Amino acid sequence: MIARPVVAAALALACFGASAAQADDEVNVYTYRETKLVQPLFEAFSKDTGIKVNVISASSGLEQRIKTEGVNSPADVLLTVDIGRIDDAVQAGVAQPIRSEIIDKAVPAQYRDPDGNWAGISMRARVIYASKDRVKQDAITYEELADPKWKGKICIRSGQHIYNNGLFAAYVARHGEAKAEEWLRGLKANLAQKPSGGDRETARDVAAGKCDLGIGNTYYWALMMNSDPDKKPWAEATRVILPTFEGGGTHVNLSGVLLAKHAPNRANGLKLIEWLAGEQAQQIYADANYEYPVRAGVAINPTIAGYGKLNADPMPIAKIAANRKAAATLVDKVGFDN
Ligand SMILES: [Fe+2]
């Protein structure tokens, strides 16, 4: 996600009050997602259902906060981004299973926790921003990023950032730790510079000629191209290639939703979760934040569709989550960020 300033906290705290955590026509949402994105969603939900949404927005520490609040926590629903943060919340013990036929039907099984502790609501892919001038090929595999032909040509942010942790964990899940280590060493050897910045800065460095291939998420390129005139030249100098694993597809990660363990408005929380997987909400995710809908049959934003058809890797996201630690350990072991 993009930077998430703490915006609605004061307002929301006022809304929650001391004894108003439970109310028939309200639902309390803790979110890491930007207000700009979630506000249109919640407004549409309220209009549809008559349920008022109280929001607490923060850039970190929400699962810790829910944990500390314990049985008195007003949180009904937690919205977060990336399997890394989703998994952190589950590990913190703040979730309860989402038991919903609507979710089971709307969200493909690979994008849901087999135990029901989380569900994916939208997707982003981790892709290549390739120099238009210097990269001629149209297809690439993740495996190929370790090929010496790219020596000194690749830019990427920290190997410990959750987005790369997810990709590297997918590599471990697919190929095992030994091969993943070899691959990470090869990728590290191909870097043009020490891992730094964010995905936008990676595009900037490709545009500036520091590297030929950058690794970034799908929505950043669309945001730079369509919504950020200062950074538009970085998108214009690059094109997005959807890489695939050999014999597999493109690595995707999720924004996800959890039902809080002690949700005082559990039924309304479930209603909101189900609504977020519905057609209207999925279209907002697709257009307002350039994400891929998890629900079939919802139109993908034209800029994102312009990358080509996404063939998402079939690896269940829960298996990727299970390899997060191994990936982080390997990143340290090979000195990826040094
Ligand atoms: Fe992001």
Region 232-261: mean pLDDT is: 98
At residue 320 the predicted structure's pLDDT band, cuts being 50, 70 and 90, is: very high
Residue 19 CA, ligand 1 centroid: distance in Å: 35
Residue 161 CA, ligand 1 centroid: distance in Å: 11
Residue 20 CA, ligand 1 centroid: distance in Å: 33
Question: What pTM, to 2 d.p., does this model score?
Answer: 0.92
Residue 166 CA, ligand 1 centroid: distance in Å: 13
Region 94-119: mean pLDDT is: 97
Q: What is the pLDDT of residue 7?
A: 40
Residue 124 CA, ligand 1 centroid: distance in Å: 9
Residue 279 CA, ligand 1 centroid: distance in Å: 23
Chain segment 152-168, per-residue pLDDT in tens: 999 999 999 999 999 99
- Please check the confidence at residue 23 and state whether its pLDDT lies above 90: no
Q: What is the pLDDT of residue 327?
A: 98
Residue 189 CA, ligand 1 centroid: distance in Å: 26
Residue 171 CA, ligand 1 centroid: distance in Å: 20
- pLDDT above 90 covers a percentage of the chain that reads 91
- What are the residues whose beta carbons fall under 8 Å from the beta carbon of 6, sequence distance 6 or more? 57, 58, 59
Residue 38 CA, ligand 1 centroid: distance in Å: 15
Residue 173 CA, ligand 1 centroid: distance in Å: 23
Residue 24 CA, ligand 1 centroid: distance in Å: 34
Residue 164 CA, ligand 1 centroid: distance in Å: 11
Q: What is the pLDDT of residue 16?
A: 55
Residue 56 CA, ligand 1 centroid: distance in Å: 19
Q: What is the spatial distance between Cα 29 and Cα 271, in angstroms, rounded to a whole number?
A: 12
Residue 181 CA, ligand 1 centroid: distance in Å: 26
What's the chain's average pLDDT? 93
Residue 219 CA, ligand 1 centroid: distance in Å: 8
Residue 31 CA, ligand 1 centroid: distance in Å: 14
Chain segment 278-297, per-residue pLDDT in tens: 999 999 999 988 999 999 99
CB atoms within 10 A of CB 98: 24
Residue 1 CA, ligand 1 centroid: distance in Å: 3
Residue 190 CA, ligand 1 centroid: distance in Å: 24
Residue 134 CA, ligand 1 centroid: distance in Å: 26
Closest alpha carbon to 117 in 258, 238, 244: 258
Residue 72 CA, ligand 1 centroid: distance in Å: 31
Give the bridge partners for 124, in sequence order: 253
- Please check the confidence at residue 262 and state whether its pLDDT lies above 80: yes
- Please check the confidence at residue 8 and state whether its pLDDT lies above 70: no
Residue 2 CA, ligand 1 centroid: distance in Å: 5
Q: Which residues keep their CB under 5 angstroms from ion ligand 1?
A: 1
